[in-house]
Chains A and B, each alone.
With several copies, the nearest count.
Chain A
């Protein structure tokens, strides 16, 4: 336990610090992407890295996402650990073939001879008033691609710890950064940053007894807020922050739902074919005899991400979550 006083820090600062520490600790770590050097990234997450480590270690690339990820593959083949920034969620799509056909499969293809320790940072999700193509939640694509880790922090400390763990991982990690939490603050001591346990562990953010909210990334604070609001209804909600979508922490999730008997999966991504389908399906499978009511999902609608002025209608908010929780209680009573 540290005795240093905790100062509030933003998730953005924690991410920057994680890359800085990784660059300092391991000469094979290289940061690359569009505008990550001189500018420090459009979200300033790589701010100062080029200055401190030089543009060979933090590199402005040409504007071509497949090229960025494809060259990162080659760099990883030669023993480097590239940390790639995709400028926005939707701008990772041009790199999809490299991701699916190579990044995710190279270890398997070569029977383990050629692992690719690449971290692919993707600012994702909505709620920041972004115009079209700047607010996608694309995690379903990554979850459906074996060979990738898919990780997303919801707190400042996790942002640091999970990014360090991602960079240290010998497997490729898609590291999804919830854009709208970039400026969220937590008490966190950047002088003694906490390194979290290995990737793949969910955490109970708030213990509760009546229903489990299963969520991750940008929806974690929303669920915590909903849990607070639910007290007025007499509901004691448990909030599980998955942190890692792949690998999936069945143990933590199953234990929680077996305890509460009810579950709602909450995420911003489109409902149909989205991450919640997998989560709800495996919870239903593993907790069938414990469930008092069906596992419900509160997700983005099955529509392309809406324009800024309408996004509030699309995003799962406290009310929609409480509605779902309410429907579960009714089911139980029926």
Chain B
């Protein structure tokens, strides 16, 4: 049987006998976001997982702080921080198997790093020495996608291809609340559902698309309510509750791997920092709003839980912090070295074989650089 045929044949049926093609009820999100930390469900959570998530959150927060600091030192051209969103970033990376694929958006360098991409390589785009700094095949992390939502159909296509090849690979694709307004979001969701592709969509609803608040972005009850319109389940989760995000994403990944098709997960979170270091958030939101979310901080929530359950001793805290500092120190050191650039790279990877025209242009630049190197006389006209 082909992958395509598995969905069954279609008979357009005159209305007296018409039936909905699937039952919509199970596809609708719950009225309240799923939470674990601070609720009864927390008791069932695996202590090992909690500790692991905690350490990753601390590490992620430190990474965000360090990357932001690097912008001030002129070592990064720009940095879109995920401070406050670390639960989503970290959980997205941790739920995946090695053979799976992550499709990050431009804000999700942390997810890439949590999946094992070298932070310096993850930040290449934002440092400005090249576009994608890592080999996507090494950790199975697609290039960070700047044009919003455009990476979603890529994830669908990759997941579909894996399924066609018989591999039980899942793709997890990340997008922001703003990105859900793009046509590519719609088309990706629809292809995924029609193809029954093993893909999980994680929408980080952090309240804003740059300055535009969610109410100007959508009038939907929730973004997770979009799922039913494609025939896939929609799930709503507290995006600052790392355990809850991990659980919901984990379920969706297992569901996809088992051949159950795609899931849309909306994680409610908040962008604590400005859009990027270049943005001035005071122009469009008040500090009180930010404060409300600081009380619901992902690390805070986790710390509370761990402390209450006596799972957080000083050693664990220290180990997490040391690990985070080591990451930051390494990042600082290596980012403070000027990257080695080869301008000839400009021509090397446009086509598999450079065209004659590109070879001519390469020679021209070579000559210019040689003249430049030879000093003002050599460079002279």
Contact = CB atoms under 8 A, between A and B. Distances in A.
B190 A62 contact: yes
B155 A34 contact: no
Interface stretch (A108-116, A180-188, A205-213, A260-268): A108-116
Contacts of A65: 182
A243 B379 CA distance: 32
Given A56-B2, A70-B157, A302 B135 contact: no
Given A59-B4, A74-B154, A200 B355 contact: yes
Given A62-B216, A67-B181, A77-B136, A98 B153 contact: yes
A114 B137 contact: yes
Interface string B257-277: 000000000000000000000
A91 B182 CA distance: 11
A101 interface: yes
B165 interface: yes
Contacts of A289: none
Interface range, A side = 35 or more
Nearest to B76: A131
Contacts of A109: 131-132, 143
A302 B160 contact: no
B78 A131 contact: yes
Interface in A76-106: 76-80, 82, 90-91, 93-94, 97-98, 101-102, 105-106
Contacts of A78: 157-158, 161-162, 165
Nearest to B127: A309
Nearest to A319: B381
Contacts of A61: 191, 216
Closest 9 A-B residue pairs measured CB to CB?
A: A74-B157, A70-B153, A67-B187, A308-B128, A71-B157, A39-B211, A78-B161, A74-B158, A247-B355
14 contacts: A39-B210, A62-B216, A63-B182, A64-B181, A64-B182, A73-B153, A74-B153, A109-B132, A110-B135, A146-B350, A302-B355, A310-B129, A310-B346, A313-B346
Interface of A: 30, 34-35, 37-40, 42, 54-56, 59-67, 69-80, 82, 90-91, 93-94, 97-98, 101-102, 105-115, 129-134, 146-147, 149, 169-171, 200, 229, 232-233, 246-248, 250-251, 272, 301-304, 306-310, 313-314, 318-320, 322-323, 326
Given A37-B211, A64-B186, A131-B131, 8 more contacts: A62-B217, A67-B191, A74-B158, A75-B158, A78-B158, A79-B161, A91-B147, A102-B150
